[in-house]
């Protein structure tokens, strides 16, 4: 018998002071309440988790790199049953929140800490705020964030059901902005599939597909 964990760790970095903020999410606690994690420093944005009507978790995660929250929808199964699940910034591709086993998360925190250090060094930045934009201008926003949310959700679901095929046979999949739209890519072999959806209603239509092949 497989015992399903009832709690999951979630960690994000405060965009203001860079501290790692740890939270524990209980399967049952979450059903009753919205969960909010917040850094103790001034003006910090909270990470919010809400349960949607169809039992998905909707997360709003402050981004260390953009200084604004990004939204994600994750199924309850993915949230509570994966050893490790990463949420990444759609603009920079950097991982901004970590869900899963505490050990695995600690490993990821170390890895991304080094990544941030390298980024800061390469940009000759002294403080976090030196790598953060003051404001995102209109032409930096490539496509509607709702399109990204919907397609991210679709890709997670298909990946969960092993409905994504790619040349390496055993990839791990993620999505990113590409041109004016969104594409899914394999983190292992780099194969991709570009979605043609650019508006939320077009993205909704994509939800009817039941498999994907990356090339």
- Determine, following the binding rule CB under 5 A, whether residue 165 of this chain makes contact with Zn ion: no
Q: For Zn ion, which is the closer residue by CB, 91 or 98?
A: 91
Helix (H, G, I), strand (E, B) or coil at 55: coil
The DSSP-derived string for 159-171 is: HHTT-EE-TTSS-
> Which residue among 10, 12, 13, 16 contacts Zn ion (CB under 5 A)?
16
Residue 158 C-beta: closest distance to Zn ion, Å = 14
Binding region for Zn ion (CB under 5 A) out of 35-43, 48-56, 102-110, 113-121: 35-43
- Determine, following the binding rule CB under 5 A, whether residue 116 of this chain makes contact with Zn ion: no
Whole-number Å distance between alpha carbons of 174 and 88 = 9
Binding region for Zn ion (CB under 5 A) out of 16-24, 105-113, 117-125, 200-208: 16-24
- Determine, following the binding rule CB under 5 A, whether residue 189 of this chain makes contact with Zn ion: yes
Q: Do 143 and 182 touch, CB atoms closer than 8 A?
A: yes
Q: Do 180 and 152 touch, CB atoms closer than 8 A?
A: no
Residue 131 C-beta: closest distance to Zn ion, Å = 11
Whole-number Å distance between alpha carbons of 49 and 69 = 12
CA-to-CA dists, residue 138 to 62, 135, 163, angstroms: 20, 10, 35
Residue 192 C-beta: closest distance to Zn ion, Å = 10
Whole-number Å distance between alpha carbons of 19 and 12 = 8
168 dihedral zone (left: phi>0; alpha: psi -120 to 50; beta) = alpha
Q: For Zn ion, which is the closer residue by CB, 100 or 171?
A: 171
Q: For Zn ion, which is the closer residue by CB, 90 or 100?
A: 90
Q: For Zn ion, which is the closer residue by CB, 96 or 203?
A: 96
> Which residues make up the interface to Zn ion (CB under 5 A)?
14, 16-17, 39, 41, 44, 63, 65-66, 89, 91, 166, 168, 171, 186, 188-189
């Amino acid at each position: 018998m497989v015992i399903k964990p009832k709690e999951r760790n979630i960690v994000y970095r405060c965009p203001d002071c860079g501290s790692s903020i740890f939270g524990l999410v209980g399967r049952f606690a979450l059903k009753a309440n919205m969960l909010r994690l917040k850094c103790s420093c001034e003006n910090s944005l909270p990470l919010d988790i809400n349960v949607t009507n169809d039992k998905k978790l909707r997360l709003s995660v402050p981004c260390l790199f953009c200084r604004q929250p990004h939204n994600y929808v994750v199924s309850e199964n993915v949230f509570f049953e994966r050893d490790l699940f990463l949420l990444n910034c759609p603009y920079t591709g950097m991982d901004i929140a970590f869900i899963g086993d505490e050990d695995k998360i600690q490993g990821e925190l170390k890895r991304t800490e080094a990544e941030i250090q390298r980024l800061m060094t390469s940009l000759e930045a002294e403080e976090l705020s030196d790598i953060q934009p003051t404001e995102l201008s209109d032409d930096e926003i490539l496509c509607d964030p709702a399109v990204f949310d919907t397609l991210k959700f679709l890709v997670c679901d298909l990946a969960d059901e092993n409905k994504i095929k790619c040349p390496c046979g055993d990839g791990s999949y993620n999505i990113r902005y590409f041109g004016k739209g969104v594409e899914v890519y394999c983190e292992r072999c780099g194969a991709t599939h570009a979605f043609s959806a650019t508006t939320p209603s077009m993205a909704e239509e994509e939800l009817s597909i039941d498999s994907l092949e990356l090339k």
